[in-house]
């Protein structure tokens, strides 16, 4: 695991995602996390899977246009709850609506900043509304070609950030 902070962000991105087709988006996502999720962050070793391996219950947002893929966060061990609490600064432990609203805003802000930055480089992308999908539903809605996995720990709670090529 790599502890992530402002000082080592570039190093961590290079170590974990250097050369990935999602490297720029990953950089925006991790920078947003460092700046806006007020809890210790750690990043694990990345890996890629093919097909439906790795699609699980979680939050997904599809980007379309010059590229088409999903950014998703799957909950491994209270990870989405930790994102919501760290991002919103509230302690609504088992409030599903709060967790969905806060993590929905979280992913929307990451993707919004990335879409704006991409347009300045003449890469046109649009965001669809976020989707909270249960495992069976996720597997039927998202038809992945490959998935780039980034394990993320938010203050001791595990999640995984996914870049799902479709």
Burial bucket for residue 154 (CB in 10 Å: 0-12, 13-18, 19+) = buried
pLDDT in tens, 109-151: 999 999 999 999 999 999 999 999 988 899 889 999 999 999 9
Please tell me what DSSP assigns to residue 39: S
CATH match for 2-165 among 3.30.70.100, 3.90.1150.10, 3.40.1550.10, 3.30.540.10: 3.40.1550.10
Q: How do the domains of the chain map onto residue ranges?
A: 2-165
pTM above 0.85, yes or no: yes
The answer, yes or no, to whether residue 64 has pLDDT greater than 90, is yes
């Amino acid at each position: 695991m790599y502890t992530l902070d402002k000082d080592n962000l570039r190093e961590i991105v290079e170590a974990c995602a250097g050369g990935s087709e999602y490297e720029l988006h990953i950089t925006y996502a991790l920078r947003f996390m460092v700046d806006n999720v007020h809890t210790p962050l750690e990043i694990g070793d990345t890996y890629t899977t093919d097909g439906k391996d790795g699609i699980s219950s979680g939050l997904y947002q599809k980007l379309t246009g010059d590229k088409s893929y999903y950014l998703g966060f799957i909950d491994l061990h209270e990870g989405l709850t930790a994102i919501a609490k760290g991002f919103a600064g509230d302690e609504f432990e088992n409030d599903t609506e709060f967790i969905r609203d806060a993590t929905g805003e979280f992913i929307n802000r990451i993707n919004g900043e990335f879409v704006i930055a991409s347009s300045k480089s003449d890469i046109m992308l649009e965001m669809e509304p976020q989707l909270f999908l249960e495992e069976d539903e996720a597997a039927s809605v998202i038809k992945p070609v490959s998935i780039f996995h980034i394990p993320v720990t938010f203050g001791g709670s595990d999640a995984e950030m996914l870049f799902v090529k479709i």
